[in-house]
Amino acid sequence: MKKSILALIALLLLPLMVQAQDRTVKLKIIETTDVHGCFFPYDFITRRAVGGSMARVHTYVQQQRELYKEDLILVDNGDILQGQPTAYYYNFVDTTSVHLASDMLNFMGYNVGNFGNHDIEVGNAVFERWVHDCAFPVLGANIIDTKTGQPHFKPYEVIVRDGIKVVVLGMITPAIPVWLSENLWKGLRFEDMEQTARKWIPIIQAEEHPDIIVGLFHAGKDAEWLGNGKYREQASVEVAERVPGFDVVLMGHDHARECRKVTNVEGKEVLVINPANRAFNVADVEITCTLRDGRVVDKQVEGQLVSVSDLAVSQSFMDRFAQQYKDVETFVSKKIGTFTEDITTRPAYFGPSAFIDLIHTLQLELTGAEISFAAPLSFDARIAQGDVYVSDMFNLYRFENMLYTMSFTGKEILGALEMSYDNWINVMKSPNDHVLLVREPAKAGDRIQFIEPSYNFDSAAGIIYTVDVRKPKGQKVTIVSMADGTPFSLDKTYKVAVNSYRGNGGGSQLIDGAGIPSDKLKDRIIQSTDVDLRYYLMKYIEEHHTISPKALGQWKLVPEKWVAPAIKRDYKLLFGEDMK
């Protein structure tokens, strides 16, 4: 009888005994992405203090390390080597020191990095040096060495924390050839993300037996096909849904905040999260694992976007990089010339502008081309009358684009311009309509916004033309003549100056507008500069010293009776003040 009672008690206590053996581990993953050189709480372009920055991210990371100790994993998701002069200086000016981006990430204790398209944009020499200087792996499962057929960079990283094995698989958007010339990524190719994930997930599961799989994808959430359907862009969510195995997918690239769960093909939830750009926020993921006899028997994944803009700047960060800060400040403070007039991108949306026409003038002068294409790379940039400094050049020209001279027929030029103006000029049905193609405000008091990004709003120089706002898509532009009054022919082939982004198919004006297959664009390149266009802009201003920027006046919106009042209305709705 006594033995029976003891056996019954033991049976009743068994679940409690098993439960007593369970152990809970909480892991924290913090992601930064699309930092774009915003390392310090200071904008070296506008020369003023700003929120965000890696100096504030460091404060948050330190706070979380107090709570999670060694169970915190810190990752960066690419596009860190372009944007602010902080990155440019260590990319192209000081090329012998440890790269600031590497030094900073090492100091902050990053565990994993990933490639972004703008990290490829700086060229092989720069990104290979950056990777070499990083004390952690920079991943790239779908960046393939054309000689070996294998990933050129490490495809994934295994991280073990408190008995939990985490595997991070890193990938980049494969659409690099659409935007960047091959000389920047010579010897590499970029494979589809979903195909790459389907290859590596079974390998990871078989060889590593992970408890958690993290996708670190420099790609956004809304998939689309670019380059005549050759490259699937922004495929992060599709991969999370279609390829089983991921617990969380950390996104980047599209600068769009996101934090939600999707269901994959096996019915399991996957967290997808993106803190957007410029280090104003971080993605904060907590994974709670239950272990029994050393094995994970349950895991819960929760995420949130955390703003760091109101946090104090890390003094230890600022002290550690004080000399680098000073060196960049000295670089951007160099005077290179004088402007006799203010220039701004604002007029560029309504007609010729001194801002864009200065770029046109330089492109035509450098290349000897007959026609130039250029767009406002920054939505609302301004350079004031007076002394011009290196910092102003990052306002004048935002990206590290090369300058191409390409050959296009007149018909192709017209097609490209038609698509460009369709990007930002509305089809007006009455004089009361918007002249701009815009999205109405979400709520009262907000301003209207362009539907398409302004860096796809090419105008042309070297030709005289009109844009009729009443005409339907593809029928707006009428080319009257060349700028010198000679005839323009649809059948003639012209030399055209374009930046490398456009010349490689970026924005699709040359593909969908001009009708040139993406794989044939490289055949149209006559020559390319070997350094970025910003460099030549600086040299141009230094050589001329005093610049009097003027609009060339080679195109206009018509009919004037409709356009003139509509421009005044839309200018105020777009910028919040009257047109001067």
Does position 4 have pLDDT exceeding 60, yes or no?
no
Q: Is the pLDDT of residue 10 over 60?
A: no
Across 27-39, average pLDDT: 98
Region 21-328: CATH code: 3.60.21.10
Q: Phi and psi dihedrals of 128, rounded to 5?
A: -70, -40
What's the mean pLDDT in 160-184? 94
pLDDT of residue 516: 95
Say what the pLDDT of residue 181 is. 84
Q: What does the alpha-carbon distance between residue 46 and residue 280 come to, in Å, rounded to a whole number? A: 17
pLDDT at site 19: 53
Q: Band of the pLDDT at 21, cuts 50, 70, 90?
A: confident
Q: What is the pLDDT of residues 472-513, one digit of tens each?
A: 999 999 999 999 999 999 999 999 999 999 999 999 999 999
Task: Work out the pLDDT band at 55, boundaries 50, 70, 90.
Answer: very high
User: Do 130 and 119 touch, CB atoms closer than 8 A?
Assistant: yes
Q: Hey, where are the domains in the chain?
A: 21-328, 335-575
Q: How confident is residue 58, by pLDDT bands cut at 50, 70 and 90?
A: very high
User: Model confidence at 11, in pLDDT bands (50, 70, 90)?
Assistant: low
Spell out the CATH class of 335-575. alpha beta
Rounded CA separation 368/13 (Å): 88
In this predicted structure, what is the pLDDT of residue 530? 84
Which of 6-15, 85-94, 456-465 is predicted least confidently? 6-15
Identify the pLDDT of residue 8: 53
Query: Above pLDDT 90, what percent of the chain?
Result: 90
Q: pLDDT averaged over the chain? A: 94
Mean pLDDT of 537-541: 93
Give the model's pLDDT for residue 325: 98
Instruction: Give 444 or 186, the one with higher predicted confidence.
Output: 186
Q: Give the position of tokens 């350094």.
A: 531
pLDDT digits (tens, 9 = 90+) for 230-268: 999 999 999 999 999 999 999 999 999 999 999 999 999
Between residues 400 and 128, the one the model is more confident about: 128
Contacts of 128 (CB under 8 A, 6+ apart): none
Residues in contact with 69: Cβ distance below 8 Å, sequence separation at least 6, in sequence order:
none
User: Beta-carbon neighbour count of residue 255 at 10 Å?
Assistant: 15
Helical residues (DSSP H) of 69-116, grouped into ranges: 85-88, 100-108
Cis before 453? omega within 30: no
What was the pLDDT predicted at 18? 47
Residue 528 has pLDDT above 80, yes or no: yes
Give the residue among 74, 95, 80 at the shortest CA–CA distance from 33: 80
pLDDT tens column, 397-451:
988 899 999 999 999 999 999 999 999 999 999 999 999 999 988 777 789 999 9
Q: What's the pTM?
A: 0.88
- Residue 500 contacts residue 177 (beta carbons within 8 Å): no
Span 194-199, average pLDDT? 98
Model confidence pLDDT, tens digit, residues 70-116:
999 999 999 999 999 999 999 999 999 999 999 999 999 999 999 99
DSSP track, 132-199: HH-SS-EE-TTEEETTTSSBSS-SEEEEEETTEEEEEEEEE-S-HHHHS-GGGSTTEEE--HHHHHHH
pLDDT over 80 (residue 332): yes
Query: In 228-246, which positions are buried (b, 16+ CB within 10 angstroms) versus exposed (e)?
Result: bebbbbbbbbbbbbebbbb
Q: What mean pLDDT is predicted for residues 339-355?
A: 96
Does 323 score more than 60 pLDDT?
A: yes
Quick check: 17 pLDDT over 50?
A: no
Token pair belonging to 266:
């096996």
The pLDDT of residue 16? 47
Q: How far apart are CA 213 and CA 227, in angstroms?
A: 31
Mean pLDDT of 266-280: 98
User: Residue 15 above 80 pLDDT?
Assistant: no
- Quick one: pLDDT at residue 43? 96
Q: Which two tokens stand for residue 458?
A: 């090419």
